[in-house]
Chain A
Amino acid sequence: MISPKKISLVLGLFLLISCYESLDFKQLNEFLVKPVFTLALNYFSIVPSQFISSNGTQQISITDVTEIKGLQDVYITNDIVRLEFNAEIKNELDRGVTINVDFLDRISRLTYSFTAITIESNDLDYIYLEAIDIVAYPDILNTSKVRVRLELENTGVPLNPSDTSEFEFKSSVTLFIESSF
């Protein structure tokens, strides 16, 4: 009969000869997830009649604003390192248009503002890119609202309300995220 001592010896030997390759789990400290998300943002298409108020007065500028949620989400916010705003603009109007884009927090304080963007008349392929490193402008992550103001160039010539030419604005934001494990 095989004794327990012999069995223990065989099992012990087996465990001794089993091997494992050295592993370094500390490498995880260097692991970074770096996804890049691109999301559609604001868009609009304006015709000259929209600059004329209900009482028939031509306005020099018009403004619209929207809430933006998500940037306040702490899980995302802490890991965003860079934002890139992209805009594709087409100006068919008979005058230049200046766009002012402002980012506002919950109580409408400015968190970031683009330098005014001026698109000349009949510039149909204007591309705008604004890259923001969060480390330089951390306040932008407190943004709750985006305000876009359009200002017409003062040519001295009144707008034709029946003119069908358009001012088109398309935009997107690219979020660069770096998250450690």
Chain B
Amino acid sequence: MKKILFFLLILSAAKALGQNKQVLYDFAELPQTLLLNPGAETNYKFHTGVPLLSGLSMDFGSSGAVLTDVFALDNKNINDKIATVLKALTTRDFLKINTQVEVLNLGFRVDDKTYFSFGFYEEIDAIGYYPKDGITMFYEGNDAYLNKSFSLGQLLYKLDAVGVIHAGISKKVNDNLTLGGRFKVYSSAVNIESANNSGTFTTVRGTDNSYKHYLSNININTKSSGLYIKDPETDTYVIQDAGTIFGNTLLGGNLGIGIDFGVTYHITPQLKFSGSILDFGFINHKKNTLNLKANGSFVSEGIGFEYNPDNPSNYWGQIEGDFKEQVPIDTNKRSYISWRPTKLNAALKYRFKEIRRYNNRNSTFKDFYSDAIGVQLYYVFRPLNPQLALTGFYQKAITKNFQTKVTYTVDDFSNTNIGAGFSAQFGIVNLYGMLDNLLEYSNLSAANSLSLQVGINIIIN
């Protein structure tokens, strides 16, 4: 029980973005591979996922720190440990989480060359970069940092909770080429994001007074939709209840569209290339939006007394007025567009060892190789900079109905990310499961990154 609680804690403690499913990609012709490449090859007639159980994927990553850095039982003072961690983190470190739950996943063969699939899944997808200067300011204050310019531009985060209705088609153009596309309608339940911020806060020795504070070239933008609602009684914005928020994942008002595109091409009978572009799309947020924009510069040396009894000044009022004039803060409910985190996949796969034949009753048979090796590339557009993962893999069909895959991935979190997965077919029931960062399982507490995908399908050949 302790282990389960701990695992749930890891999964719930983080923030997020697009998940690299390197084990699942182009594996065992699973229906879920069509969501990673609509141009993937399939040879079954029909599939349906078990509702809510066909696809559950979770991905957690923390690039700079792990739980043991802070919470290990090592008799060290927690304040010292946190200070050490905060000092070591950089503005390129981030925390991310991605979870995806398939609610509905169906597909059927239209003809020998065409497979149609559709469904609905819910996804929470978030990433937050470490705002080192802001945290330093919060944690230590400005007293020890005279002349240091604290950057406000390090504020960078994005969180999406969306429902995705999708329909896709894969078409075998000829023996070598399969193309596919998927159209998606996004329904955003929550979006919060802040990017492209700038500005600094600096304290220096003053001239008229002991110190002088500068807010320089401030440009802060935050956007949100679906999160806040105005309380008519208090006339203030409050966070909506979770039930209302997640009810909006099904056509809740903030809608968007996107497309996936994929291709599989056999260079030789044993060597094939596949690639895909996923989530090339956007969401138009116009319901329950609340945005904030502040820009300008402000300098203060404190309150300058004038000792003029004939004309007493409202000093504080002057400062407040000057600040509002020089750094206007605009709160508005304007609609805005957020782009989905577009992902690219590309893979080269070489199949070898004995060719087998499925026991097909129609013409949709294909040659079968028991082993395969290859490389995969994953690229996702993120707020700060795109992120890349390179995977080498070995795939092995132990029997006709039991396939396995082992991956080795180099990414932002690790140079030793080993993953493994299986797909097992029992009659018409298909069961699959994948884990990566297997080496981290020797100590989950010290894991920088963990991800898993599991699911149950009904597949009829």
Name A residues whose Cβ lies closer than 8 Å to a Cβ of B: 1-2, 4, 7, 11, 14, 17-25, 27-28, 30-33, 35-46, 50, 53-54, 62-64, 66-69, 86, 88, 148, 150, 169-172, 174-175, 177
Contacts and interface: CB of A to CB of B under 8 A. Distances in A.
Nearest to A28: B78
Contact of B138 (A32, A35, A171): A35
A15 B314 CA distance: 68
Contacts of B140: 35-36
A18 B444 contact: yes
30 contacts: A1-B401, A4-B431, A20-B444, A21-B445, A23-B67, A23-B71, A23-B72, A23-B73, A23-B445, A24-B71, A24-B72, A30-B79, A35-B139, A36-B143, A38-B203, A38-B211, A40-B211, A40-B213, A40-B302, A42-B303, A42-B305, A43-B206, A43-B303, A45-B208, A53-B309, A54-B310, A64-B312, A66-B305, A67-B315, A174-B143
B1 interface: no
Given A40-B213, A62-B309, A67 B424 contact: no
A73 B180 CA distance: 58
Nearest to A168: B208
Interface of B: 3, 6, 67-68, 70-73, 77-79, 82, 137-144, 203, 206, 208-213, 300-310, 312, 314-317, 320, 398-399, 401-402, 422, 424, 426, 431, 433, 441-446
Contacts of B446: 21
A41 B139 contact: no
Contacts of B141: 35-38, 175, 177
Contacts of A23: 6, 67-68, 71-73, 445
A37 B444 contact: no
Contact of B210 (A28, A68, A86, A148): A86
B303 A37 contact: no
Nearest to A11: B433
A86 B206 CA distance: 14
Contacts of A150: 307
Given A14-B441, A37-B142, A64-B312, 14 more contacts: A17-B441, A18-B444, A21-B446, A23-B73, A31-B78, A31-B82, A36-B143, A40-B210, A40-B212, A50-B307, A63-B307, A64-B307, A88-B210, A177-B141
A172 B211 CA distance: 7
A44 B210 contact: no
A135 B394 CA distance: 67
Nearest to B137: A35
Nearest to A59: B309
Closest 5 CB pairs of A and B: A35-B141, A40-B302, A43-B209, A18-B441, A44-B305
B302 A43 contact: yes
Contacts of B426: 4
Nearest to B146: A38
Contacts of B3: 20
A39 B211 contact: yes
Given A40-B301, A67-B317, A30 B441 contact: no
A25 B71 contact: yes
B208 to A, nearest CB: 5
Given A23-B445, A36-B141, A170 B206 contact: yes
B387 to A, nearest CB: 26
B309 A66 contact: no
Nearest to B140: A35
A31 B422 contact: no
Contacts of A86: 210
A54 B310 CA distance: 9
Contact of B305 (A19, A43, A172): A43
Given A21-B72, A24-B71, A38-B142, A170 B210 contact: yes
Contacts of B6: 20, 23
A171 to B, nearest CB: 6
A41 B312 CA distance: 18
A171 B208 CA distance: 10
B68 A40 contact: no
Nearest to B70: A27
Contacts of A32: 79
Contacts of A41: 209, 302-303
Contacts of B73: 22-24
A64 B315 CA distance: 10
B203 A2 contact: no
A4 B424 contact: yes
A72 to B, nearest CB: 12
A104 B445 CA distance: 52
